[in-house]
Chains A and B, each alone.
Chain A
Amino acid sequence: MISKLLESLYTKVFINIVIENSQTVVYVEVCSKKSVLQNMHKYFDTTTMNSKMYEFIHAYYKESPFCYVSILDKSPLQGAIPTCDVKEMSRYCDINSSEHRCFSKDWAYYTSEYDLEAIKHEYRSAGVDFIFSPFVIMANFFKDKIDNTLSMFVLLEDNYISFSVFDNSKLLYAEYLNMEHHKESDELLMESPLEDDELDGIDLEEIDIDDDSSGFDDFTNIEDLDSGEAIDEFSQEQEIKEIITKEEYSPTDGFNEDYQRFSLIKGALNTFYKDPKYNSKFIESIYIADGVGVTNDLKNYLEEEMFLSVYVRKIDLAVALCDMAKAEI
């Protein structure tokens, strides 16, 4: 009671760290009981904690004993799953090496325990109070839409895309997509097109254990081509080729990135439709939380090629992170 009373006399400082591709955004908000006294964004040309960032954070740290440091989780091994039951979770992720939290008992989000420890270790000098999943930020950002629509919801970060499908607040599918990873794999595909055949050749879905013939022989087998799996694989291959050709003609990086995002969204949606683990439904609209400032091209791609109704909302990830931290205390 006394501590609460004394706490109200102090200002609260929220330091929010969002790591981007080549820089780190630190958003600081100094709040009194009800109002925001000061807020500012500071950009550091580093993705790790350096002395400049530490000094900046420490200066605010000294202002109040009630200083909270929040970080947006960037673990590539994170995601969200449409269940909150621990037994069912193992179907979607390795729960032994993951830390998970339930969201409204309907769905859960998880991340790698190792990556959490890595974040804590990286920011041990400043200390970390909250680590938030981008899926939670997205769920809060689109709370008004998630509760009453069947749509795709996408949170665009600098290098990552949080992709999810909600049906009236019930999560159907979610995936955390790393653009850099996909870009590298795409570049590999571009540099050595001959390896496509080899990559396709070692695809487990195409290997028939009982069949003694080699993988190359499968292409000549007309019976295999008639099967549904072969057609699916063929269509995926076609998509990859489309991505390669489109990237070759891309005039700018922004265009590249937007197309890459489009292709990732398209790929994720395909997975949602095809993977039997997920209860797939036909999606007609997509809500995008734009945290990077995409061009209108992405919207055009989605509307013209996938015939989706696209709604784009700007989001300041650091501010959203700050709002989450405020709600936590």
Chain B
Amino acid sequence: MKYSYIKPRSKTIFTKDVLLLLAFFSVTMVMLFGTYAFLLFRDYRFTQDMLDINEQKSELRASILKMSNEIATIEKQVLLSEKVFTKNSVLKESISNLFDLVPSRITLSEAKIMENGLVLYGITPNKDVYNFMLQAPLRSIFHRTYSSFYPDKNGWLRFVSTNYIDEEEELSSEN
């Protein structure tokens, strides 16, 4: 029915008091949700950082392990190099001693150094020079010494001296 001469004023539940209350609650809710969202974001970032740090930690652990292995290898290599260096020094000294052993009257043409032996090729004026001046010191060093001669064109003798160190005897002597 529309029998009134005038239309009623529009009615709304949103009066001034209600609007004020709604505004207050809206601001409060916005602040609460804002804080909640901020905390969620911070939590997410914290989790992400934690995962990143764990990943970095595991990478670093792997890296440390790798480096430890490398250090061990290098240490082994150092030991080996020292050993080689020592061996070389010994060898050098041996060679130097060897050449010191060779008298001036004997000329070496070739020398083969082996692990357990030494083969010398050279020229000697005679067997006695060889036997007294070279073979005697060689025999003091090596366990077994074999010499063979054959004459050269100028009347001198070419010789081949084969000398061996027996490891078993050396070990027993060391013991």
Residues in A lying within 8 Å of B, measured CB to CB: 3, 6-7, 10, 65-68, 70, 73, 99, 101, 103, 111, 116, 120, 127-133, 136, 324-325, 327-329
Contacts and interface: CB of A to CB of B under 8 A. Distances in A.
Given A3-B13, A10-B13, A120 B3 contact: no
Interface residues of B, number: 14
A217 B54 CA distance: 128
B3 A328 contact: yes
A4 to B, nearest CB: 11
Main secondary structure, interface of B, reads loop
A121 to B, nearest CB: 13
B5 A328 contact: no
Nearest to B7: A129
B13 A328 contact: no
25 contacts: A3-B12, A7-B13, A65-B13, A65-B18, A70-B4, A73-B5, A99-B5, A101-B4, A101-B5, A116-B5, A120-B6, A127-B9, A129-B9, A130-B4, A130-B6, A131-B4, A131-B6, A133-B3, A133-B5, A136-B3, A327-B3, A328-B1, A328-B3, A328-B4, A329-B8
A129 B6 contact: yes
B1 A327 contact: yes
B72 to A, nearest CB: 77
Interface in B1-24: 1-6, 8-9, 11-15, 18
B13 A128 contact: no
A136 B2 CA distance: 11
Contacts of A111: 5
Contacts of B18: 65
Contact of A128 (B2, B6, B12, B15): B6
Contacts of A120: 6
Given A68-B8, A328-B8, A329-B8, A132 B13 contact: no
A327 B8 CA distance: 12
A70 B3 CA distance: 12
